[in-house]
Amino acid sequence: MSDDDQRLRRWRLMLGESAEESTGGLGQPGDSRMDAALAALYDSSGPTKGRRRSAGLGASAPSVARWLGDIRTYFPSTVVQVMQKDAIDRLGLAQLLLEPELLDAVEPDVHLVGTLLSLNQVMPEASKATARMVVGKVVQEVEERIAQKTKAAVTGALNRSARTSNPKLRDIDWDRTIRANLSHYLPEYRTVVPERLVGYGRKSKSVQRDVVLAIDQSGSMASSVVYASVFGAVLASMQALKTSLVVFDTAVVDLTDKLSDPVDVLFGTQLGGGTDINRAIAYSQSLISRPAESMFVLISDLYEGGIRNEMLRRMAAMKNAGVQVVVLLALSDDGAPSFDHDNAAALGALGIPAFACTPDKFPELLAVALERGDVSAWADQLALEQR
């Protein structure tokens, strides 16, 4: 098939049967089933109105399962994930995901996990085992993607923060020592006189930092809940950190005791409902016993249903006490989130940056924050890179 023919074929599949006069028909093997799968989801007449095409998604698990099988056959997994999300959003198929045979047919991804978690409270027992398998597969993929990078970034940050100006010989960081003393270079001897030594203190087996993650579990934060839960589990596995994880809507739930299994964490959440950020911050404050060695990460779109002024007062008090405070409007790959701009600006005025971060950049953010670097400058650079 020529490039022109291939281009017309793609336009025909994208625009549907109404474009056939200008683009020509479909002649490739499997084109008709591919066209039917697209029509079932994207036909403008909708799923319940009369259509000129016979394809469609009926309100039954078998028909949806067949459709899921078709799209997995004819489209790559990245496209399948988008189509699944569109089917759930456009055709109201969330309830059908409670069918075990349908769960077996889906392509697991973060958005699907968010949908399953939102149905957790109404999920029949027969579906829960399959749902846990689906969620577990996604969690494993995310953990493999982020774990090594996160541990390396945190370990490096903690080691750097443990530098001392009076190290023992075996602990001297010669590279940094030379750079710190370049002004003392003696050309006649072609050497640097190290007036100031830079090295690492002995690695401590005790907890060096306390990290508290507070995650907004309102429905719009579903992807962030998934990623934050996995990050929480990774951080909890590190001896040098004491990691706490709380989720909140109008109530606060401490899931720290479940951090050994991020799937348990996720099934301990309850997506949807209102939001009381102030209450979550108040509880998080109670977990911080040594502010100067603590980091608090609030992951929320900042739509506050509680007492706004009290929320801002608590955040300011935490920062002034020496806690490294970071606010993430989203921790996901979904792009720019919807958030409360007034609250974000108010936090910015307090010197607390509020910004979105992708999972791939979060380890780097952790390193900057744990070293007590300039998080605002880092966030500004991130924004420039994303433009």
- What are 70-104's pLDDT values in tens digits? 787 888 888 888 888 888 777 777 777 777 877 88
User: What whole-number distance in Å separates Cα of residue 244 and Cα of residue 228?
Assistant: 12
H or E stretch at 141: helix 125-161
**Closest among 330, 279, 331 to 301, alpha carbons compared:** 330
The yes-or-no verdict on residue 313 having pLDDT over 60 is yes
Whole-number pLDDT of residue 204: 52
In the chain, the percentage of residues whose pLDDT exceeds 70 is 81
Contact 103, 131 (CB under 8 A): yes
CB distance 204 to 238 below 8 Å:
no
Q: What is d(CA 255, CA 262) in angstroms, rounded to the nearest whole number?
A: 10
Q: Which residue from 337, 323, 336, 338 is spatially nearest to 370, judged by alpha carbons?
A: 323
Q: Enter the tokens of residue 218.
A: 């309102």
**pLDDT in the model for residue 197:** 72
Tell me the pLDDT tens digit for each residue of 220-263: 898 999 999 999 999 999 999 999 999 999 999 999 999 999 99
Distances, alpha carbon 377 to alpha carbons 43, 144, 369, in Å: 47, 29, 11
From CA 300, how far away is CA 364, in angstroms rounded?
Answer: 20
